[in-house]
Chains A and B, each alone.
Chain A
């Protein structure tokens, strides 16, 4: 870094600024939009000078959407609650199931273990639409349509492979000798898993959990088809703003701001764990 010439430094700064603007501008614009009425948003030319209003947020929080055609009920806050519940519960279930499974795949090569692990991974690259129709049928037979239980189950298609494959890598990075040493010291395999493997893979588990949370949060199509309004997350709930009397851009913008905030906060908080997790290989005992 010290050897960089002033010209290089300036060019580097310009390049970084361009990249940041390119990615951050839409979010910045949406943030501004969330404080504007539909009229100022649609004004031509657009302006960043406007008198801010909290009416969009008020509408979302009270659940009353004022349109030209009259007042509409929207369930945005409920959607937000659903999103949080579904994502947290899905990640929790995926961690409970996926972390021990990842440990098993990392430490014990049993017959067909690679095949099973790969099959689980393949859930990630099959397009959801492919399984959606049969899944809808099954859910109706099983009575799982429009239940949190059913949605959390389907969300395992998203979360479980992610956690399984990321955490498996972290477990594989832990020297087997460290675990052997704990066993020889007189501890059972379960104590070894709990006291040695879990803490050492902790940053990796946190990183995988965070990613799984974001993927679950962003899911749209499963919830759209398998749940009705009262169980749907924000991603689906945002459709309510496309009304018969026009698209409510202001409310959409504020809804986006509200729904991005939890994942953004979580990502910022977990950033240091992510970095720690990635550098785990450097701290071999």
Chain B
């Protein structure tokens, strides 16, 4: 276990800035997931920590020690690559053993270490094979074993599940947390899959365009995405985003959806009259009777049954599309007119101009209280 601190990292390739004044702190034993679209700079950041790329500006501290100018082989980190990066001319055994041979351990110690980690990852029967003879899943496990074998205090995993099939990915998503917990290392994990991020991360750092846009626990990010883009990246089906202008009424702030008022109890008058985007998670919307209060009339356009949930595409009277998600097996309309109910307390309000999440009234008033 160790800590990792990145201080004001800048990395440019030619005129393009890949990492833009990025700072990040990872606590002892923490599992931090770097999440973001491709081209966000996640992989560059990881390589920079590993020491195979040098930053143009900024410092890299591992365990409190400045490692910025230390060569990769002396940083003592373990890393698994997205494309596995196995040594094609060496057997799986030699691949996994490579971090141990560097420290000139005895032959027996090396064999023991490799056997132990290979057993853990269930590849002890293919150790004599060359990478060419391994299946994709075995390659991935070999790469992971190579990263783990030296018990590095800092483990860097660059989207290790990207190039394996869906079934294996699902298995590993369940297996990895246990494995990493047993290892006890501080982990930086890169992924483009929000489910992986939520399953594996103690905290998630959402990256885009070389900056960290939001950092927090999976729940914080899901329940309070800092901006529209992050809200869109987390969640399947994606969040419904509707242009609205909140108004102030007798009982507080509300928005109108097909002339039906939806009260936003968490927001105060500051947002009224401002062009906003309303974010509604599909699973917070329910189908309801026409008679119940706040029922919004819609037309059901299509229904997609997925394994564990059913996703319905509905159209409002004004022609806006809304996705509704409900657990599989629960009843719901299949086609034609229907009504939905929206829970204003679970809705997000984003500023249309900046895309930022508008602070809820309780948070805002607390801030005001602190200021006063």
Which residue numbers of A lie inside 8 Å of B, CB to CB?
Answer: 175, 177-178, 180-189, 191, 196, 199-200, 283-285
Contact = CB atoms under 8 A, between A and B. Distances in A.
B99 A178 contact: no
B350 to A, nearest CB: 39
Contacts of B47: 180
Interface of B: 47, 50-52, 71-79, 81, 83-89, 98-99, 102-103, 131-132, 146, 150
B102 A284 contact: no
A184 B87 contact: no
A258 to B, nearest CB: 38
Contacts of A196: 87
Nearest to A177: B85
Give the most central of A175, A177, A200, A283: most B CB within 10 Å.
A177
A182 B98 CA distance: 7
B85 A283 contact: no
A186 B57 CA distance: 25
B81 A177 contact: yes
Contacts of B89: 199-200
A184 B146 CA distance: 10
Given A178-B87, A200-B88, A183 B72 contact: yes
The A contact surface, by secondary structure, is helix
Contacts of A283: 88, 132
Nearest to B80: A181
A142 B132 CA distance: 54
Contact of B52 (A184, A188, A199): A184
A284 B81 contact: no
A285 B76 CA distance: 24
B84 A185 contact: no
A285 B73 contact: no
A184 B52 CA distance: 8
B51 A184 contact: yes
Contacts of A186: 73-74, 76, 99, 102-103, 150
A180 B71 CA distance: 11
A285 B85 contact: yes
Contacts of B102: 185-187, 191
Given A177-B83, A285-B88, 10 more contacts: A177-B81, A178-B85, A182-B87, A182-B98, A184-B77, A185-B102, A187-B98, A187-B102, A199-B89, A284-B88
A14 to B, nearest CB: 40
Contacts of B81: 177, 180-181
A185 B146 contact: yes
Nearest to A196: B87
Contacts of B98: 181-182, 185, 187
B99 to A, nearest CB: 4
Contact of B83 (A175, A182, A188, A200): A175
Given A175-B83, A185-B102, A187-B73, A180 B52 contact: yes
A183 B132 contact: no
Given A180-B47, A185-B102, A187-B73, A285 B52 contact: no
Q: Please give me the 9 A-B residue pairs with the lowest Cβ-Cβ distance, nearest first.
A: A186-B102, A177-B85, A285-B88, A185-B99, A183-B72, A181-B85, A180-B52, A285-B86, A185-B98
A199 B130 CA distance: 14
Nearest to B43: A177
A178 B72 CA distance: 14
A60 B150 CA distance: 65
Contacts of B131: 285
B73 A188 contact: yes
A176 B196 CA distance: 27
